[in-house]
């Protein structure tokens, strides 16, 4: 069936031997089963089960209603089974404490869905894993758990490094698609043609260089999950094609007139404000609404100092060795803004492990963490270069950088050409084709 139940327990009240055998075959590999067939036997059981499957008519008509009342205050989910599709019986069942009412003949898919959607069937360790790894509030963890029990799309937002891909993988692992593949693709890593090939695949000869056919991520994600990271970078032409696939679960590989079908669940993520992009006309509104479903915004690491304190302690001793931080090192780590979030944090921990210090001083930390202002200046400089490249083209920006470096080396070498050529490992041709600033004195020494 593809459902994951972690061996919960079910108490079943049924007197039909054929039905009992059917339920055993259906449920025994997923649940711990106990059976009863009357109200008298029901009194022998403690109300400690995760589920109760109760037939309506046992040794006498509507005996199941009395059993329902007996377990009405039990924490487990009560599912009433009967072949009687009468409004009066349905009303009595719910008044007696039933959570769901399922008609016979029993549909296995319906029963498994009822069990999978139970609050008592959610994997008990999921919240613990979420809180341990990210320190999120219980209310957010409940929203994540709801996403594991759904087939709706999941849309992640948050800064880089907050764990969007890791959370998508976790939701897949706890969903009823966990036996299928989890296929991840970062849309920002490819140009438009290559991205289309990555998503849809292509046949041999579809374009120059397509020497072999290729399966796309859509086909690979059949019966599983397709996770599209940085979906905001997807060109609008591909957005339309993706929209149709989500609606129809059918697509054409590049160069093919033969449709392929894929049963996949879509998840996506971005650091951008997709709603603002829709308003600016940069992202399709209809696709935006298709991707929305369970919206999960992952907060940055710096927003939860208590959790940061916990993972610092846990991470420093995760390999079994005991390490201590000086008070100055503690303050530095806690007050650093962690712009790269968890990705940057765990990289820093790895670096500290490599230094193999028992007592970690502030000087053992990365320079960027000790002096984030210098990192900020570097970031501002790169932002400036990037803006120049976007405006004037990469080649022109690179030419400016090359000219500035040659000028800088030339001046620090007191205008001596040969020293400059040797220092920068460039030819005299490369040097003389660069225009130097007016007033620069040239020496051939």
The string of DSSP codes covering 175-238 is STTTTS-EEEEEGGGS-HHHHHHHHHEE-TTSSTT--S-EE-HHHHTTTEEEEEETGGGS-HHH
Confidence band of 140 (pLDDT split at 50, 70, 90): confident
Count the neighbouring beta carbons within 10 Å of the beta carbon of residue 270.
23
Q: How far is CA 216 from the centre of its chain?
A: 20
The string of pLDDT tens digits covering residues 324-340 is: 899 999 999 999 999 99
Confidence band of 122 (pLDDT split at 50, 70, 90): very low
Q: Which residues make beta-bridge pairs with 214?
A: 202
pLDDT exceeds cutoff 60 at 286: yes
E-strand stretches of 271-405: 294-297, 324-325, 359-360
Of how many residues is the chain composed? 445
The string of pLDDT tens digits covering residues 359-416 is: 999 999 998 898 875 555 556 667 777 887 888 888 888 888 888 888 888 888 777 8
Q: Which residues 6+ apart lie within 8 Å of 121 measured at CB?
A: 5, 8, 50, 51, 77, 115
- The reported pLDDT for the residue numbered 163 is 92
Mean of pLDDT values over 227-247: 94
- pTM for this model (two decimals): 0.60
Domains of the chain, CATH where assigned: 8-116 (3.40.50.2300), 139-297 (3.40.50.300), 301-370 (1.10.8.60), 383-432 (no CATH)
Q: Which residues make beta-bridge pairs with 79?
A: 53, 100
């Amino acid at each position: 069936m593809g459902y994951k139940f972690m061996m919960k327990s079910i108490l079943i009240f049924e007197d039909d031997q054929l039905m009992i055998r059917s339920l055993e075959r259906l449920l025994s590999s997923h649940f711990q089963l106990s059976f009863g067939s009357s109200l008298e036997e029901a009194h022998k059981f403690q109300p400690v089960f995760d589920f109760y499957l109760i037939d309506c008519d046992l040794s006498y008509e509507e005996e199941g209603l009395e059993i329902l009342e007996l377990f009405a205050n039990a924490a487990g989910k009560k599912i009433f089974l009967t072949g009687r599709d009468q409004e009066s019986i349905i009303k009595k069942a719910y008044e007696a404490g039933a959570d769901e009412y399922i008609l016979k003949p029993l549909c296995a898919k319906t029963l498994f869905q009822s069990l999978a959607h139970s609050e008592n069937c959610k994997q008990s360790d999921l919240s613990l894993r979420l809180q341990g790894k990210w320190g999120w509030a219980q209310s957010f963890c409940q929203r994540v758990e709801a996403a594991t029990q759904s087939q709706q799309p999941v849309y992640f937002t948050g800064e880089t490094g907050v764990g969007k891909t890791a959370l998508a993988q976790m939701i897949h692992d706890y969903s009823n698609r966990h036996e299928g593949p989890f296929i991840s693709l970062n849309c920002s890593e490819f140009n438009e043609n290559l991205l289309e090939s990555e998503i849809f695949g292509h046949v041999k000869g579809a374009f120059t260089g397509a020497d072999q056919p290729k399966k796309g991520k859509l086909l690979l994600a059949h019966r599983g999950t397709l996770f599209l990271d940085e979906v905001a970078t997807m060109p609008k032409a591909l957005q339309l094609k993706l929209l149709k696939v989500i609606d129809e679960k059918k697509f054409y590989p590049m160069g093919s007139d033969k449709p392929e079908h894929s049963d996949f669940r879509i998840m996506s993520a971005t650091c951008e404000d997709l709603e603002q992009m829709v308003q600016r006309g940069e992202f399709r509104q209809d696709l935006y609404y298709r991707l929305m479903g369970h919206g999960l915004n992952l907060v940055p690491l710096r927003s939860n100092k208590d959790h940061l304190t916990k993972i610092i302690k846990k991470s420093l001793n995760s390999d079994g060795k005991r390490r201590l931080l000086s008070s100055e090192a503690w303050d530095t780590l806690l007050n650093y803004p962690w712009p790269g979030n968890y990705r940057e944090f765990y990289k820093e921990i790895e670096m500290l492990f490599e230094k193999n210090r028992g007592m970690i001083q502030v000087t053992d930390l990365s320079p960027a963490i000790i002096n984030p202002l210098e990192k900020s200046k570097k970031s501002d400089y790169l932002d400036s270069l990037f803006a120049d490249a976007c405006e004037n083209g990469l080649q022109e920006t690179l030419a400016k950088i090359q000219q500035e470096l040659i000028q800088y080396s030339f001046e620090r070498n007191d205008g001596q050409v040969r020293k400059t050529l040797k220092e920068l490992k460039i030819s005299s041709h490369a040097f003389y084709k660069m225009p130097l600033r007016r007033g620069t004195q040239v020496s051939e020494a």
